[in-house]
Chains A and B, each alone.
Chain A
Amino acid sequence: MSARVLAFINFKGGVGKTATVINIGATLAKLHRKKVLVVDLDPQSNSSVWLMRPDRWRQHVAKGQRSTFQIFDDALLGKDRFNFDDAVVKGVETWTGFTDLPRLHLLPASVELLRIEDRIHELRAPANYQVLERALGARFKEYDFVLLDCPPNLYSTTKNAVFCADNCVVPYVPDYLSLSGFHVLAEQVAELREKFSGHLPGRRKPNIGALIVSHYRQTGNVFRLAINELEISMANLQAIGLLSQDAVLLEPYVRHCVRVAESTSEHLPVILYAPGSIGAQDYSDLTQNVLNHFDSTK
């Protein structure tokens, strides 16, 4: 098995990074029978508490153990405590008390990740952005897809994710603030590509492979115009080499859906919580297009 590793990045918050990771991951596992690993790299631990009951999550990652924090902490302290098999959570616990989605695995985060940024400078480049690849790279082979849920910044954990990834995926809310940020994000990823290039022999260089629109509303002109501006901006960035020619804006756009918000409180992906909802329908079709796009660019 050779995993396709996708880093979901955007330094803007609230654009639907976690919702996209969880729901695409669950759809790949449930409907396409793919083996999927979700790696939570955000100190807010939203992917973790979406898929796990809070009490189970707190117990699992107590003091940062069995979490992505421990990977970084080990690298900083020169220790070897992180054990992938102990840390990974297999499947999602449903209301029955039993697990569903056995092909969906989660490597949870813990809030201690907040402390990593203050200490990561103790490691010199390139070691400071190779931590994740060194700890997990060999295990990625056990999966069809690895989805890295990044924090809303481009600091060390995100850089580690970009270094690991075959492609970056940018969740995007269609408004001007996102548009202006996207240009900067494309520049930053291009800069990282340059920085990493000497350390990634024989590998694809990380680039933005796709954008995914969340919180879409069909009323009025607002969102259609904003998406048109994004498409024009993407073409311009491709023309000046800041964005790969393979990068696409994937459809359908994920519409705003209250059932997706509700599903977080039930600790279930929306395709399990409300399979008939528009949120589940959008993620289902979107996942098909994620598969088609990344299979064609593999």
Chain B
Amino acid sequence: MNYTDLATHLLDLGERLQKHSRKIEGDKVGRSAKKLAQAVERFEDTLDSFLASRKSGELLLETMLRSPSAKRHLTVELLKKGLREVAGKRLQAEELSAARKEFVEVLHANEKGSQGGKFLRAAFEEAACVEPGGKDKVSLQREFVRLGGLSDEEYEKEIVKRTFGELRRLAATNGIKFTDRTGKQRLMALIRRFAIRAAMNISFDE
């Protein structure tokens, strides 16, 4: 059922009730009507609160705070920055859940819920952005494939000229995992192995 169906149902019911209201009698229908009236009242409160929060922008704030992005990107520092920028206030809490509560309360008191929601949305957008690797990455990937196409002798000759730092950069850019304890010889062997694989695997593009 959707809300339009519910609205139609309530309108139909209202019309029938109105039409027969003076003829209805008895405990059974009275008890049921009482329950319905209580449920309608509760629903009205919920609906009014939803519509008010939508109008004031509180809904956007709530949606942002409950979003998957909040789980990943929301920090006390971000909330502090937000409160300072949006309401010119200082956030006191140092723990995330308390900070979150204070953030909402202060914004609510200052009627800045909408701006708070917009601040969080912009912050989450910025946090989700990924900078492209740039030309350096592309050239290191090309170099990797070229190394994979060399014979063992050619590779030996070329690779020994590289500094340890250059090798680490080449390996890291091309997805090779290593640790601080990985030595130069081991790194050269890893680069050789995976460069041959990359050259072979992308050969159908040539």
Contact = CB atoms under 8 A, between A and B. Distances in A.
B107 interface: no
A232 B145 contact: yes
Interface in A239-298: 240, 248, 251-252, 271, 275-277, 280-281, 283-286, 288-289, 292
B197 A271 contact: no
B128 A285 contact: yes
Size category of the B interface is: 35 or more
B63 A30 contact: yes
A281 B194 contact: no
A266 to B, nearest CB: 16
Contacts of A224: 175-177
22 contacts: A31-B121, A91-B2, A97-B1, A98-B1, A99-B2, A99-B3, A176-B201, A180-B201, A183-B205, A221-B194, A224-B176, A225-B197, A228-B141, A228-B174, A229-B202, A237-B205, A252-B128, A275-B71, A284-B67, A284-B68, A284-B72, A284-B124
A236 B145 CA distance: 11
Contacts of A183: 204-205
B129 A221 contact: no
A31 B198 contact: no
Contacts of B3: 98-99
Interface of A: 30-31, 90-91, 97-99, 176, 179-180, 183, 220-221, 224-229, 231-233, 235-237, 240, 248, 251-252, 271, 275-277, 280-281, 283-286, 288-289, 292
Interface in B59-117: 63-64, 66-69, 71-72
A179 B121 CA distance: 35
B13 to A, nearest CB: 17
Contacts of B189: none
B141 A232 contact: yes
Contacts of B174: 225, 228
Contact of B176 (A225, A226, A232): A225
B201 A284 contact: no
Contacts of A277: 68
Nearest to A274: B68
B124 A288 contact: yes
Contacts of B25: none
A31 B63 CA distance: 7
B125 interface: yes
A225 B69 contact: no
Nearest to A283: B68
B29 interface: no
Interface string B137-160: 010011011000000000000000
B2 A281 contact: no
Given A228-B141, A271-B68, A276-B68, A233 B2 contact: no
Contact of B141 (A99, A231, A271): A231
B205 A229 contact: no
Contacts of A225: 174-176, 194, 197-198
A31 B194 CA distance: 41
B24 interface: no
Given A30-B63, A179-B201, A98 B141 contact: no
Contacts of A292: 125, 129
A228 B67 contact: no
Q: Identify the 3 closest CB pairs spanning chains A and B, nearest first.
A: A224-B175, A280-B68, A228-B175
Contacts of B202: 179, 229, 232-233, 236
A221 B67 contact: no
